[in-house]
């Protein structure tokens, strides 16, 4: 991008969390770590949104299934867990083989390890945004699994010293520069 008038640290000031978005299609389960999840409506229907890179395997499966879950992660989640879902491709690895999860709607995995709450949604709209798709879903299931403090994206970077994978919008911040030039 090279625009010196953009201080990329300003983007860390946007309050966001670290979430696990999962989906399933024809018996194949996959999920990935994201920092984009939000409630976008409340009445007459609760809708949530998440953004996934166009090239990710989770995106491919989500477009086919039309369903996704969001697991809101606890701040105590270990980096090894984040690494499994954030830095490995589900085309090559079964990300669910070493974690606890339950399945909703016969295809929608909801990870229960290190999860404070989960939401399940049916896709009602998809918007292309440059390198990503924004998926908007109508919530049909939500539950609190345990009390705790949600992991914020700021804490992920500052406390856990986490990096962003190459398809994350924040990948350009990995070099540690204030500006993205």
Per-residue pLDDT tens digits for 75-113: 999 999 999 998 889 999 999 999 999 998 878 999 999
Nearest to 169, CA basis, from 25, 21, 54: 54
CB burial of residue 95 (10 Å; 0-12, 13-18, 19+): buried
Domains present along the chain, CATH in parentheses: 9-175 (2.30.110.10)
Residues 6+ apart with CB under 8 A from 29: 22, 23, 94, 95, 96, 101, 103, 109
Give yes or no for residue 178 having a pLDDT over 60.
no
Position 24 scores a pLDDT of 96
Q: What is the rounded CA–CA span in Å between residue 114 and residue 117?
A: 9
From CA 51, how far away is CA 89, in angstroms rounded? 17
pLDDT (mean) for 117-126:
97
Show Cβ contacts of residue 40 under 8 Å, excluding neighbours closer than 6 positions. 47, 48, 49, 136
Partnered with residue 71 across adjacent β-strands are 20, 118
* 3-state secondary structure (DSSP) of residue 170: helix
Q: What is the pTM of this model?
A: 0.86
């Amino acid at each position: 991008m090279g625009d010196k008038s953009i201080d990329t640290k300003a983007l860390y000031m946007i309050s966001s969390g670290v979430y696990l978005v999962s989906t399933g299609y024809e018996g194949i389960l996959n999920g990935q770590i994201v920092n984009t999840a939000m409630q976008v409506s409340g009445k007459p229907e609760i809708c949530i949104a998440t953004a996934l890179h166009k090239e990710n395997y989770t995106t491919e499966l989500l477009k086919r299934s039309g369903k996704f879950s969001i697991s809101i992660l606890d701040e105590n989640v270990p980096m090894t867990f984040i690494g499994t879902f954030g830095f490995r491709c589900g085309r090559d690895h079964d990300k669910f083989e070493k974690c606890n999860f339950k399945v909703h709607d016969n295809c929608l995995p909801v990870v229960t390890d290190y999860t404070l709450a989960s939401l399940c949604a049916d896709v009602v709209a998809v918007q292309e945004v440059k390198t990503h798709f924004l998926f908007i879903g109508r919530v049909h299931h939500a539950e609190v699994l345990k009390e705790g403090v949600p992991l914020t994206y700021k804490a992920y970077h500052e406390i856990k010293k986490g990096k962003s994978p190459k398809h994350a919008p924040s990948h350009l911040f990995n070099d540690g520069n204030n500006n993205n030039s």
